[in-house]
Amino acid sequence: MNESTSLYRRHRPGSFDEVVGQQHVVRTLRNAVEQGKVHHAYLFVGSRGTGKTSMAKILARSLNCERGGPTVTPCGECESCVTIAAGTSIDVIEMDAASNRSVDDVRDLRERVAYAPAGGRWKVYILDEAHMLTKEAWNAFLKTLEEPPPNTLFVLATTEAHKVMATIADRCQRFDFQRPSLEQISEVLNRVAVAESIELDEGAAAMISRSASGSFRDALGTLDQLVAFGGSHVGLDEVLEMLGAVDAELLFDAIDAVAAEDPKAVLLGVEKMAQSGRDPSQFARDLLAHLRHLLVTQTTGEVPGSFVVTATDAARLQAQAATIGPATLIRTIDDLALALTAVREGDDARMAVEIALLKAARPDLDPSTEGLLRRIERLEEQLAGGGRPTGPAEQSGGPAGGGGASVLGPPDSSPPVGVPIPIDDPPPAAPEAPSTVGDAAPTGPAGQGSDLDLEKLQRVWPAVMDQLAAAAPALAAFFEDARVVGFEDAESVVEISFPAAATFNKRKAETPENRERVAEALQTVTGRGLKPTYVLLDGESPVPEEAPAAPKADGVDEEELLERLKSEFDAEEVS
């Protein structure tokens, strides 16, 4: 064959023994040829570059070889084998359904099918991209496919089997071609490199295999391009330079920086990537593939063989999967996916990648609601681990103490729903151990609930209602006019009054389920298990005149607090 022919055409497998992978297809077709039970129609399904057309040509050569055919070992030297490999055989017709998809094209095919083989024993029609035929063309082809003339074989190849009409697929034997593994692609690359006297480094072969995305054709096409680019010696640096791909070391370092919550290392890693001339979008795509490998490894507990080529990569992948937390892993995947979407919409690629990795490494830099949830999640992890929660200032090397903002937000913001709030003013903190949100409200008898009285309960009642509204809005509506009027400390009983006209509301509140919800709200706010009881009172409930009409929080009235909450969390007030 001409030396100018591309590598993937020059090194197509010529027999079943030369096929790498697809063993289920090879075994079935070999047996069919040996036993004389070749079916009249086959449907080859698989992604591009997996060997569908090559397998069809091997089958055609096996049936038409002039030296002992049909045979599973075609000679590759007779006129039939040579012309089939070159695509010039008059008995093996290749058609592209993407450009020959009309009814007229199929009618022309039907007319040619009627003629017997001219030189060989079998007439083979290879219809590539078969899913592109129109419905009308399929209907015109149906009868011919179902009852072809003797010694006529149809091979339909497609990447989208769901688009092939069911009536056509039913008349074919279907074979699904699997994506080759990295090892199988590397095997083909090394075999071709030896045949072509190309010096191919192990790292270069691994990187080409990764970039091929499961396609033998793409891998050999890349090798062909690299030979034209840098000569007969192909190293990892040449592959990275030509493909704009990212070295595995950069990927590992970037994820290490995210896992360590080190924003400086994140930015330095992106800078190193940019200085090396890599494309930021490709860097993000390679990172996503690397994160998927980590996710699978973390979930299954082992590194699948298709993920790596060298043992060094496998060991490091296993170690990194054990280091990074599952929540951080998923967040980073989400952030990078959003960054790639933003790049497609016109955002600067490098900035989008930097922001995504910074948000993954430092949730406190994310002003969105998702960022707030991440900060709460991290606080819960720190508390569960027995450590004292730290703020962003402490994480970035700032002084530990009250000077650093809490991970839950600014010091003057109200605590989120579900976090107990202190009833009394907190005692003065020692200089060496200032309080944080995590230790401001211990629960239980030893905490803030140990010195409750009626006045304090009346003061925090609005917070109890807020907690109840968050958990059960419909139930909270029944307590609109309810007040705390009594408290029995010894029995932990809270007496709650309803106006005389609110009999229905009181009856609803007294159901066991609703009573339990109110008790939960009381415990969340006060840190103490309390039992609510309900009474009906005539007139106004005996609330002390000096009690404030609107809830206060650190000297801030209700309206100001609402404005601060809306500003802090970018919220809207709804009725």
What tokens appear for 114 in the block? 């009627």
Q: Does position 268 have pLDDT exceeding 80, yes or no?
A: yes
Total Cβ atoms within 10 A of residue 328: 20
pLDDT digits (tens, 9 = 90+) for 50-59: 889 999 999 9
- Per the CB < 8 A criterion, the answer to whether 180 and 216 are in contact is yes
CATH code for the structural domain at 248-361: 1.20.272.10
Residue 334's φ and ψ, nearest 5 degrees, are: -60, -45
Q: From 1.10.8.60, 3.40.50.1000, 1.20.120.80, 2.10.50.10, which CATH number describes the 182-243 domain?
A: 1.10.8.60
- Per the CB < 8 A criterion, the answer to whether 138 and 43 are in contact is no
pLDDT value for 176: 92
pLDDT value for 551: 46
Beta bridge partners of 498: 536
Mean pLDDT of all residues in 387-401 = 43
pLDDT digits (tens, 9 = 90+) for 284-343: 888 888 898 889 888 888 877 656 545 456 788 888 888 888 888 888 999 899 999 998
Q: Give every CB contact of residue 43 below 8 A, 6+ residues apart in sequence.
A: 130, 156, 158, 161, 164, 168, 169, 172, 173, 174, 175
* Percent of the chain residues topping a pLDDT of 90: 9
pLDDT value for 29: 93
pLDDT digits (tens, 9 = 90+) for 234-244: 888 788 777 76
Q: Tell me what the pLDDT averaged over the chain comes to.
A: 77
pLDDT value for 28: 93
pLDDT value for 544: 43
**Amino acid in the structure at residue 109:** L
Return the DSSP state at 323: H
pLDDT digits (tens, 9 = 90+) for 112-152: 887 777 777 888 989 888 888 888 888 888 888 888 888 88
Q: How confident is the model at residue 377 (pLDDT cuts 50, 70, 90)?
A: low
pLDDT value for 547: 42
pLDDT digits (tens, 9 = 90+) for 532-566: 999 887 654 444 444 444 444 444 466 766 676 66
What tokens appear for 413 in the block? 């913001």
Q: From 3.30.300.180, 3.40.430.10, 3.40.190.10, 3.40.50.2000, which CATH number describes the 449-544 domain?
A: 3.30.300.180
The residue extents of the domains of the chain are: 7-176, 182-243, 248-361, 449-544
Measured CA distances, 333 to 4, 288, 337 (Å): 43, 6, 6
pLDDT digits (tens, 9 = 90+) for 25-42: 999 999 999 998 899 899
pLDDT digits (tens, 9 = 90+) for 3-20: 567 888 888 888 898 898
What angle separates helix 248-259 from helix 311-323, to the nearest 10 degrees?
10
**Which residue shows structure tokens 């993937």?**
8
pLDDT value for 307: 64
pLDDT digits (tens, 9 = 90+) for 444-483: 433 344 578 888 888 888 888 888 888 888 888 888 888 8
pLDDT digits (tens, 9 = 90+) for 206-219: 888 877 878 888 89
How far from chain centre, in Å, is Cα 66? 53
pLDDT value for 45: 92
pLDDT digits (tens, 9 = 90+) for 412-436: 444 444 444 444 444 444 444 333 3
Beta bridge partners of 153: 124
- Per the CB < 8 A criterion, the answer to whether 39 and 170 are in contact is no
Residue 563's φ and ψ, nearest 5 degrees, are: -60, -40
Q: How confident is the model at residue 174 (pLDDT cuts 50, 70, 90)?
A: very high
Is CATH 1.20.1440.130 what the domain over 7-176 is classified as, yes or no?
Answer: no
Return the DSSP state at 245: -
Sign of the dihedral through C-alpha 549, 552, 557, 558: negative
DSSP for 446-470, written as a single string = TTGGGG--HHHHHHHHHHHHHHHHH
Domains 7-176 and 248-361 share a fold: no
